[in-house]
Structure 1
């Protein structure tokens, strides 16, 4: 017997709701139609009366589901707000119709079936009127007959709606193939009736999304829209299998975190009366793209992208730097290869050795420098010949840097406002020192600033979303975790598709950046950035307001805290499979084994791994076999592992 008809569930299959929970939509409806600024008590009372009316309609008429018209016939006309039930009904219909988005993979499947001459129908437990459902489906690209609980009084959960469809279509059970996300109503019930099923769960909320919703009762519309935006970003198309885990991580964690930061930055800059804000390369690339989406919604300043790097900003003053100020060359987690270190100074090993007239074989090697090798490099850089070489490069670097900044409009006002991930304010100080001669000051907006940041006297005015206050942090809180994982955030959250900016050069009458090698992992970078943008675009489409900003901040804080403290295995595997931006970037995590457990107990190192101090312990545990994860939950072993990996 061949299948003659394909049926699809409507919500969480063909369409994804912009309010994840139906009651959240009712609270949004109440806020929209109640007079005045409605109190929280008023919102709850409206929703209570609306749900009571639905329950009464079912009981009065002996139906499994009562249509929306029947519901509002029982909504009290003598309500506390003098609200017209007919007006409330039309407002709910309008909100429902405009609070959905198509699921592209399912839309493509439906269109393919119709193109092949197959019959497609839709089966839903929705209580919306048939004409409204058809308008909603057709507006999102879905054509075909709709069988709904609101029109028939029967539901999928009982099986009665499936029986009605079989009779109306003249089918035997085996001639219907039903696709839906609910394990009971869309899988077990139709299978028990002999109907073929195709269970689709991609629109089902992830465990992380469910966790966020559990933090609030179902009366938080803005939070619901934030979680819905994560789901829509995941569902925008079908990712490559190897990138599916990364997309889920980007949608659930990276997107809300970066969107919250950029929204905060634009709001702060607008309050300061800034007309333009420059996002600094490379970490600022995705932030700038986000700002282009968000700025119109928040009435923020014009976002621009400024190509540069710490090495570029430091270059004009290289000749005067002391050894302590050179420490940024070999920051934790970055390459110690001589050629990589010296490239940040616009030098080659051969240039430096020729300038000082000395020999240092380690400088010509491809191997990373150890601490003794770094000390030797510092000694060479302090030599008079090296200083003269750096002075010449510094003068040219200053000229080109100022020409580039002027070309980009960055010197037009008395203050250059920049935005970046942040951490120590070294970049802002370097910019400020170069621009002082032009009478331009620098102010900055940053994701985070560590406890060893520079002060206002050295770096100038600045604001940050997160500031490390070690003495005040509570174990397990975001403050206690965030600043231990700077390399993780930059590798996963703010990947860029262009190489590091090494300097500037004149070309065709303009000054252009000189870029290092194109980063590894172009597909992964594209996946992260496009998912983040899809999230932000969904939030903007669903309506931006003050409640959006507060819910976004709350979602971001909890998402980042949970990711850093107790990542899910899929999230850890996504990070483990993520190549570094540069060829010599060190790994962020690895799965643990029996030798790691033994080494932790005995206080030694794992054979073949040496020091593991730079690894993300929580990610290592999550990426490990189940028995390791179970052992690592024991306080004693957890403490030993933390000590070993710190």
Structure 2
């Protein structure tokens, strides 16, 4: 049962030797100002300080980059099981790096943050009075906080409102590299104070971090929930601040558009260049936090990861962004990953094969998963049923297939060791959407810890989302296109992102060992610097041209705003030029097969009725409408957009 008021603290506290209190919303109370409005105000003050130093940076650019840095850091922290903590100094350093500002401004920016906090906080006098009584009774009193601020800054805030002497020591998660919400910070406090859990009493406002976690560790806890009205008022203030900021940004930049592209290369430069550069900034921000412990490796997946890494490395050079993190290319595909999951007989591989080989035979699955062609009996020519796959593999014929799968998987396991070593945190970088490779590798190698960062995350397959906590869509994370979220437009024509990053090499199907003992794949040498992914790919070539000319992350973020609006127009209301620029050529089916599928299939000479019926089955429906119905295009595209709006509203109402 939760203890919820100050009155509970007046009861006898026998055997207690240490009192710990949370800081924010407990010892120091938040006013109605939201974090968002505090950031906006602080960055405006920072912009004025920068101007005095000769740096001209608009406040909105500071805000946007700060929010990007903060969001990415916490995402990387959460994907890492919450190990460690986000430090405000790191967020500010990343912000300064992106904007090309000197890192020696960190302390001055921290001072602005402290001044902002002092205006937004007030003292909890009743709790302070009680803590002084405990102190007078001979008990030691400490402050324990999950925060990005270091302990000396927290001490400054506490002393500002309560005067010196109230708190004997401050424990900050930013300094200790552990948090209350995962229990590590409490363990650190118990060790440092040389007390047992039964000798400690903790007070705080967060139900999980300040009550259930310490209680679960044997620490007595009192929950003092924050004022409900203050919470609602803070949320309303944050929403209003963000709305005003977005309107102001739209007014300042709304009339600006990207230069008119003349060909596919210029389209890649003006439209995809800023979008790809912003994606690479998000990768860098994520990697900086993930590598805080110094034991992470980023593996760029064949094939899409090859193009991503080329863009990423170029952006690091252009903006001189530091990243002391091991980075390698990995010979992996969904087929390679499926073999590993097959060896552990994971249900995940049955889901994937069932979807990929619907309408095919058991023999088709065997030929794809194994190393070659097999002389299989008639039973293997039956329609593929995932539920019977393991049974079929246990037959004498299936054992031959399974032996080849095992051999390939052993080669991949050696390759994984070669590129990742004994790294504890393996970060896969790929295009997206569902994260099949992540799901299958995690099932096949349960002793390894994989996580995946990709351009977008979407459960278009309708399968399990159990692996989603380990998959981050850095740009988009939603299952449906929403006209109100411009970045989600890529879900209307996802193949364009795949074709943008994938070089003109085959997917990895077979692995082998070379004379030096290195594992190589039939996709060719995909190691960084050995392959130019932009050859024959004018969109990527143009995007790389843009990245090579970048001088500030603020420019990237501003250009990306306009580029996304232009891309949305090209996808949802394409002109004939857009059809050519984005491309409507065939895409590989993959998964060990050489089949191709058309982005826009059917014949332009087909009857109107047949064309209308076929629109629903096209990979890019808007492109099919623009190609086949030039006169009806405005009405048909408007109707299609209306359908998406209604569907989006319906989904929100049913959540």
TM-score by length of 2: 0.50
2:450 is matched with which residue?
Answer: 442
2:42 is aligned to none
Q: Does 2:547 correspond to 1:536?
A: yes
Aligned to 2:309: 288
- Compared with structure 1, are the counterparts of its residues 405 and 481 closer, same or farther at alpha carbon in structure 2 (3 Å cutoff)? same
Superposition pairs for residues 155-234 of structure 1, below 5 Å? Answer: 227=258
C-alpha distance in 2, partners of 1:634/1:557?
A: 19
Partner of residue 584 from structure 1, selected from 595, 602, 611: 595
Q: How far apart are 1:564 and its partner, in Å?
A: 2.5
Rate the CA distance shift 1:484–1:453 in 2: closer, same or farther, 3 A. same
Give the equivalent residue in structure 1 for 2:231: none
CA distance in 2, matches of 1:253, 1:341: 40
Asked if 2 retains the 8 angstrom alpha-carbon contact of 1:493 and 1:528, the reply is yes
Alignment equivalent of 2:623, drawn from 599, 619, 622: 619
Three-state SS of the structure 2 residue aligned to 1:396 is helix
Structure 2 Cα separation of the partners of residues 475 and 596 of structure 1: 31
Match of 2:437 among 403, 408, 427: 427
1:513 is aligned to 2:534: no
Return structure 1 stretches of 4+ with deviation > 6 angstroms.
30-33, 36-39, 332-340, 453-456, 636-640
Task: Mark the CA change 1:422 to 1:215 in structure 2 (over 3 Å): closer, same or farther.
Answer: same
Matches of 1:282 and 1:617 in 2, distance apart? 26
Question: In the alignment, does 2:260 pair up with 1:251?
Answer: no
How far apart, CA to CA, are the structure 1 residues paired with 2:619 and 2:371? Answer: 30
Give how far 1:325 is off: 2.9
Aligned CA distance change for structure 1 residues 265 and 321 (closer, same or farther; 3 Å): same
SS at match of 1:502: coil
Give the direction of change, closer, same or farther, for the CA distance of 1:400–1:538 in structure 2 (3 Å limit): same
Residues 212-242 of structure 1 show CA distances to partners (whole Å, capped at 9, x for unaligned) of xx9956679xx98x957xx8xx7xxxxxxxx
Which of these two proteins has the greater Rg computed from alpha carbons?
1
List runs of 5+ in structure 2 lacking aligned partners: 1-47, 62-247, 527-532, 648-655
Residue deviations 1:576-629, cap 9 Å, x none? Answer: 45353575321112588685543577xxx46xxxx8513311111223463243
CA offsets 1:103-148 (integer angstroms, 9 cap, x no match) = xxxxxxxxxxxxxxxxxxxxxxxxxxxxxxxxxxxxxxxxxxxxxx
**Which residue of the partner structure matches residue 461 of structure 1?**
470
- Is residue 476–residue 565 contact of structure 1 (8 Å, CA) maintained in 2? no
Match of residue 334 from structure 2: 310
User: Hey, what's the Cα distance between the residues in 2 that align with 1:594 and 1:505?
Assistant: 47
Q: 1:581 to 1:447 in 2, by over 3 A?
A: same
1:273-352 aligned within 5 A: 273=292, 276-296=297-317, 297=319, 298-300=321-323, 301-321=325-345, 325-329=349-353, 342-348=366-372, 350-351=373-374
Cα separation, partners in 2 of 1:37 and 1:260, compared to 1, 3 Å: closer
For these two proteins, the number of residue pairs brought into alignment is 396
Q: Which residue of 1 aligns with 2:426?
A: 416
1:287 is displaced (CA, Å) by: 0.2
The 1:340–1:419 alpha-carbon spacing in structure 2 relative to 1, beyond 3 Å, is farther
CA contact (8 A) 1:600 1:637 kept: no
Which sections of structure 1, spanning at least 5 residues, go unmatched? 1-29, 44-213, 235-243, 364-371
Q: Is the CA contact (8 Å cut-off) linking 1:424 and 1:453 kept in structure 2?
A: no
Mapped partners of 2:268, 2:548: distance in 1: 14
Q: Name 2:378's counterpart in structure 1.
A: 358
Which residue matches 2:72? Answer: none
Task: Identify the match of residue 550 of structure 1 among 547, 550, 557.
Answer: 557
Residue in 2 aligned with 1:598? 609
Greater shift after overlay, 508-517 or 494-503? 508-517
Per-residue CA distance 1:321-341 (angstroms, 9 max, x = gap): 467633434757999699875
Give the whole-Å Cα distance in 2 for the aligned partners of 1:42 and 1:407: 44
- Name the CA distance, whole Å, in 2 between partners of 1:415 and 1:305: 15
Query: Equivalent residue of 1:413, what SS?
Result: coil
Distance 2:564 2:322 in 1: 24
Task: Answer 1 or 2: higher relative contact order, Cα 8 Å, separation at least 6.
Answer: 2
Q: Which residues of 2 match residues 137-156 of structure 1 at below 5 A?
A: none
CA distance in 2, matches of 1:464, 1:291: 16
Contact kept? 1:425, 1:449, Cα under 8 Å: yes
Q: 1:292 to 1:524 in 2, by over 3 A?
A: closer
Structure-2 separation of matches of 1:406 and 1:323: 25
In 1, Cα distance between equivalents of 2:406 and 2:557: 47
Give 1:406's aligned residue. Answer: 417
Q: CA deviation at 1:516?
A: 5.6
Deviation at residue 533 of structure 1 after TM alignment: 1.4
Query: Secondary structure of 1:532's partner?
Result: helix
Q: CA deviation at 1:265?
A: 0.9
Write the mapping of 1:116-155 to structure 2, written as runs, cut at 5 A. Answer: none
CA RMSD of superposed structures (Å):
4.7
Asked if the contact 2:411–2:519 (Cα under 8 Å) also holds between the matched residues in 1, the reply is: no
Distance 2:571 2:358 in 1: 21
Find out whether 1:632 has 2:636 as its counterpart: yes
C-alpha distance in 2, partners of 1:524/1:629? 34
